Chain A
Amino acid sequence: MKVSRLVLFALLSVSAGCQPEKPHEKVEVKRPEPVFVSTYKPLPSKSMLFKNATLLVGTGERIDKAFLFIKDGKVVEVGKSVAVSPDVEIVDVKGKWITPGIIDVHSHLGVYPSPSHKMAEDGNEMTAPNTAEVWAEHAVWTQDPGFNLARAGGVTSMLVLPGSANLFGGRGVALKNVPSVTMQGMKFPNAPHALKMACGENPKRVYGSDGRSPMTRMGNVAGYRKAWIEAVEYKKSWDDYYKKAEQGEEVEPPGRDLQLETLKGVLEGKIRIHNHCYRAEEMAVMIDIAKEFGYKISTFHHAIEAYKVADLLAENNICAAMWADWWGFKHEAFDTVTENVAMVDKASPNACAIVHSDSAIGIQHLNQEAAKAMAAGNRMGLQIKPKDAIRWLTLNSARSMGVDSLVGSLESGKMADFVIWNQNPFSVYAKAEKVFIDGALVFDRDDKSRQAASDFELGIEDPEGERL
């Protein structure tokens, strides 16, 4: 394929030279092939009809005594009554709740795995303030026991991000939370890459304390802008090259630069910005930088002060990914309000509030984290219901990651990623009983054979036993 395109290009170039009467015929120019491509294949699944569920669709809708029909790994239909052919297995889930699979937009599973130790820390390439060239997926340890613990908490997809030491930390990767030997076997097919950026204290602490730039928030912003100026130039050089090559001109392609390729991907709208940013005024500055260089910010992460600029975020179609209640570890995390998520959610119909974990423990209990944020909102009279709050863990996360046409809600045609809970999931006592990914049962609390243990866990405690 690659060769034939090259040959075609060469032939067309030559023939174009021989036939000047057709100089404007467009020449096909080889574009870079995708690399580290997903090999994810849905596990075997059946056609199933679940009935009598309390179902939170993920869109803000709740259906009682609901039917959910899945087939070929997809949601076929959700509703009050669904007719199916006799060969479909029917499961009565009376008393249970069904939600879309939980999606965590901020995880370091695999790159900061457990057990934690220095040589397992692969999330922060703290060697330069701009390391846009590194990819989290190249470091994901698929045997991190945290993946399995997260699955038991109903997490079906996640965005694994590099850390926040750098202005540009590198590319993040969307994973489907299935047991896999290879990263490619988990990689969410066709999900956009993320580019992790970081505001504030972390970059200036890491580099400034070494006497390097950035030493200040001024230096941070200069660093972003300098990089984007180069990226704009780099993109232009490739755009010019393709334009000329497609017109049949014999031109050499520009030299490849891994760092600038990532930034170019952002400028082209293919890679989404996930920006660690706590303070309101820094978010506003980052929005202006995005406008200056013509790219989009998908999401501010750890957005402790999002409540101060909730309307600004909504106007700019930016999500805020937040903790329910973490605060105080840094000065930029001091202005906590436990109503942050609820206040962002209620700021606008276009608001995109997300509860994220950034934690191997928190990811197991995101339902509880959202429940706390909901309860805080309700204490101030915002009247948030589970059908609303579930969006903070599902459809809004999917929107942030650019996969909302595929997952995040239980709507026809979407991947059948969902959780059957033993009760209302907005409770400390709720447990994910069954977890489905693409229609396949990947976790069953009542069936040991559906509770994957990673290689690391085998024989770790008792040569013949299980860790858990």
Chain B
Amino acid sequence: MDAKADAAVLSAAARPRLSARWATLLVLAVVIATIPWFFPSGFYFRVAALVWVTALAAVGLQILMGQAGQVSLGHAGFVGIGAYAMALGPKYLGLDVLLCLPLGAALAGVIAFLVGRPILKLKGHYLAVATLGFGMLVTMVLVSEVGITGGPDGIRVPRAEILGWRIRGSETFYWIAGGALLIGTWIALNLQDSPSGRALAALHDSEVAARTIGIDVAAYKLRAFVIAAVYGAVAGGLLALMNGFVTPDAAGFIASVEYVTMVVIGGLASVPGAVVGAALLVLLPQALTVFHDYEHAVLGLLIMLFMIFLRVGIVPGLAALLRRRA
């Protein structure tokens, strides 16, 4: 009964028609373009840029978890790969740092392809544990290979330069991150309303039925996994560029769990939900500092309340409420 109610809310709220797709992108673009007007200081550019970059990683995970229905507790592993590529590529291979952004994304894609093939045969909890293992593996390597990665202390990322212009400053990164998120959201929405997206949604609901209508379930799961990894790596690369520094925390278990929380709390079935979830999880800790020692407890409590009262997620849940009102 609940599953049915959820199904009604989900598919009505989150499956975009042409207009809904553009409306989502338009709203996002307007938000990105206008909120700097309200920033009291430069510090807010930094926080907001962090929101956009984190949201980009979350949108990637939404493709895997929300659209294809495959859980990953190792998403941050790919973010870490993208981030460290920005530091290690220039340092050891003498590559331009900007070139390392697509290279890191490609590397993450290849690793996802190799890792995904065996572990995506697993389902549910087993897949969760396998992806968890992958994330831990990445963190372990980053922490232990002190000579190469700098270990727990992290490593410096060189400043990027285009034709002699040094990319720096919070405001610049704000626009870069916002642009990247817009493109990432556009691609995720495209996918959702396409033959490939329908194949993912189909295998999400019934693998058996998906196979009997001709969908190569293993291949499509792997595609979703690789796409999610590339999103994560691009976000990680931008994050590294922004901070000028990376530590293994970027790839850590806590980060992976936070990405999952963002996607679930925003609304698994919803691409913009991932953005809202990311914004919430980046901004809430900042806002909750007034609670001092109880900051994390309050954050946990809020997450629980969101899940209890908006089980389908913030964006689909609120959309359903608005429709009922209208």
**Same assembly:** no
